[in-house]
Amino acid sequence: MIPPSLRAAGMPFQRLFGVWFLFSLTMGTLPVPTSALADSQRALELPVDHGKAPLPVANWTKSFWINSPGANPLAGEGSQGPLTEDADVCIIGSGLTGVSAAYHLGKQLEGRERAAPLKVVILDARDFCAGATGRNGGHLSPVAFASFNLALQRFGTDEVLRWLALERHTVTEVVKIIEEHGLQEAVDLTNGGRIELLITPEELTAAKADYKAAEAAGADLDDVKWLNEGETFGSSHPGYLHTGYNLWPLKFVTELYKLAAASPALNLTLHTRTPVTAVTPSNGSSTRPWTLNTPRGSVSCTRIIHATNAHVSHLLPHMSGPAGVIPVRAQVMALRAAAPLDSISRHAWTGNEGFEYWFPRPLEEGQEHPLVIIGGGREATLPKYELYVADDSAINPKAGAALRKFLPTLFPGKYEEGREPEMEWTGIMGYTASSDPFVGPVVDPSSSTNKYEGHFVSAGYSGHGMPRAFACAEALAQMVAAGIMGKSWSPPEWLPRHYLTNRVGLVQH
């Protein structure tokens, strides 16, 4: 329950504004306060003012990743002609989660003797991969130790180490697939490392404490290098460097789809621009238990994977609100730097406890200064941090104003003040109260009978899905494949047990 003190929105936000003014006095520079993480999570406790999430809007903002020429060859795949009427597994959503689930199903079922290929269909309301995965910051970095103490308090040592392991597993596997298939150029993979900038003294102290706790717990910290004020390319703040890659997320998902489609274990089809408006128990002639309803007709399925992230509660209403997944709008822009690539550094960066993240795109022919993709600015959208905003057809001018000023302020002389971005867009993330996703069979706690038999979900990455969605989809595909083959499933060592919807193997500490 929400404590009455938090219900009266005035109280905590007085304090929030207090922090805001404090930082503008002491630093006098950055357009947004840092260390807003805890306060934004607290906003999740505000009274719920919306029911289930809507379907994704049809008039979305154009993103650099989706709308660069030639970037989305599968955009309208399967949007016309006959709809696949029947499938063993229906996957709703063609982002990183849905396509990873198809890829892993192919891997899990490889080499099954005498079996016909599994009929799998992916449906998406919009163009291929035009949700969060087609609109994010393009970072692929496993967490090193940030927020280690907080997670330790909440979940205990085993679970925190699994969290770190899951992110390392994701990044290692994704990079391995890219390298094995020679896709580095196709997906613009760069291995520049990632710098977490520690902007306030409190952030530095907290980071040192997190590092110590992670070290004591036996976490692998070999890749971490501390940087002093003079080593962060003119930002004049300390920080640390650790493993980090960047890529073009839509292009990676496109390649992953091609690999899944080529799997001999699958008969895979894709229908874009086909929103699933309801899932109902089948009636009439179908032998499959479930029917997906779409404006183009219906699809009968035995198993369903909900890979709809921020929109998951549209079809699963019990997953709306703070006990489920809340849509939260995030904003990104493509801003041209005013200095050469090497002087602004190739790294990907974040403002650690703040919400900003950025990296320079590789230089294209004829370009002197790189295009920097920067996201964040939600701290400027108090008091609600864009919570419950599921409309990515518009941008938030306050977030936009903060983002425009952020880099010119942090790196004096390297960006032109007042310069307009070349593109600016929004996307919808799915937040949960724990900041961790729900992975596993769909369970409605209010119902004693299992009314979602055969439904699975992986959703709610809370703005941190790039290093997690691929592995969560792997766990899901293992469960689904085990069910198909009549085998039992036990979670892989790297999967935090508290992610699981049915809490298999979760030992309370």
Ligand X SMILES: *[C@@H]1O[C@H](CO)[C@@H](O)[C@H](O)[C@H]1NC(C)=O
State the residues that interact with ligand FAD by CB under 6 A: 55-56, 92-98, 123-126, 130-133, 135-137, 139, 275-276, 307-311, 314-315, 330, 332, 357, 375, 427-429, 459, 461, 463-467, 469
Quick count: other Cβ atoms within 10 Å of Cβ 334? 18
Dist. CA 17–CA 506, nearest whole Å:
39
Binding partner selected for residue 254 from ligand X, ligand FAD, none, CB under the kind-specific 5 to 8 Å limit: none
Least Å distance, CB 298 to ligand X, is: 6
Shortest distance, position 132 Cβ to ligand FAD, whole Å = 3
Which is closer to ligand FAD, CB of 33 or CB of 327?
327
CB 417 within 8 A of CB 407: no
**SS3 of residue 373 by DSSP:** strand
Q: Which one of residues 57, 338, 482, 504 is an interface residue with ligand X (CB under 6 A)?
A: 57
Distance CA 378, CA 396 (A): 9
Check binding of 433 to ligand X (CB under 6 A).
no
Please give the Cα distance from 196 to 351 (Å, whole number). 6
- Residue among 181 and 296 whose Cβ is closer to ligand FAD: 296
* Residues 387/330, Cβ–Cβ less than 8 Å: no
Counting contacts by CB under 6 A, is residue 119 touching ligand X?
A: yes
- Residue 467 binds: one of ligand X, ligand FAD, none (C-beta under 5 to 8 A by kind): ligand FAD
Report the partner that residue 266 touches, choosing among ligand FAD, ligand X, none (CB closer than 5 to 8 A by kind). Answer: none
136 binds, among ligand FAD, ligand X, none (CB under 5 to 8 A by kind): ligand FAD
The DSSP output letter for 62 is: P
DSSP state of 437: -
> 22 or 262: whose CB is closer to ligand X?
262
Per the CB < 8 A criterion, the answer to whether 98 and 271 are in contact is no
Contact between 368 and 361 under an 8 Å Cβ cutoff? The reply is no
User: According to the binding rule CB under 6 A, does residue 55 interact with ligand X?
Assistant: no
Closer of 127 and 203 to ligand FAD (Cβ): 127
Are the CB atoms for 141 and 245 separated by under 8 Å? yes
Residue placing its CB nearer to ligand X in the complex, 283 or 449: 283
- From ligand FAD, ligand X, none, which one binds at residue 311 (CB under 5 to 8 Å depending on kind)? ligand FAD
Q: Which is nearer to ligand X, 263 or 298 (CB)?
A: 298
Could you say whether residue 293 binds ligand X (CB under 6 A)?
Answer: yes
First to last CA, the chain: 23
Does 84 sit near ligand X (CB under 6 A)? yes
Kindly state the smallest distance separating residue 262's Cβ from ligand X, in Å.
12
Q: Does 394 bind ligand X (CB under 6 A)?
A: yes
Calpha distance 132→437 (Å, rounded): 15
Query: What is the three-class DSSP state of 86?
Result: strand
Select from 40, 97, 170, 298 the one that contacts ligand X (CB under 6 A): 298
| 3-state secondary structure at position 412 | coil
Considering beta carbons, is residue 268 or 466 the nearer one to ligand X? 268
The whole-angstrom separation of Cα 299 and Cα 91 is 11
Q: To the nearest whole angstrom, how small is the minimum distance from the Cβ of residue 393 to ligand X?
A: 4
Least separation in angstroms between residue 20's CB and ligand FAD is 23
Q: How far apart are CA 349 and CA 407, in angstroms?
A: 11
* CA dihedral over 264, 266, 267, 270, signed as positive or negative: negative
Regarding 283 and contact with ligand X (CB under 6 A), the answer is yes
Helix (H, G, I), strand (E, B) or coil at 242: strand
Closest CB 87 distance from ligand X, rounded Å: 7
Q: Which residue has the tokens 């070290």?
A: 215
Q: Is 197 helix (H, G, I), strand (E, B) or coil?
A: strand
Instruction: From 279-287, 376-384, 455-463, 481-489, give the range in contact with ligand X by CB under 6 A.
Output: 279-287
- Cβ proximity of 457 and 318 under 8 Å: no
Is residue 229 within 8 Å of residue 238, measured between CB atoms? yes
Q: How far is the CB of 258 from ligand X (least distance, A)?
A: 16
In sequence order, what are the beta bridge partners of 304?
90, 455
Minimum CB separation from ligand X for residue 263, in Å? 11
Interacting stretch for ligand X, rule CB under 6 A, among 136-144, 257-265, 291-299, 377-385?
Answer: 291-299
| Closer Cβ to ligand FAD, 13 or 426, answer by number | 426
The DSSP output letter for 145 is S
Q: How far is the CB of 280 from ligand X (least distance, A)?
A: 4
**Beta-bridge mates of residue 225:** 241
Which residues here bind ligand X, judged by CB under 6 A? 57, 59, 84, 117, 119, 267, 269, 280, 283-284, 291, 293, 298, 393-394
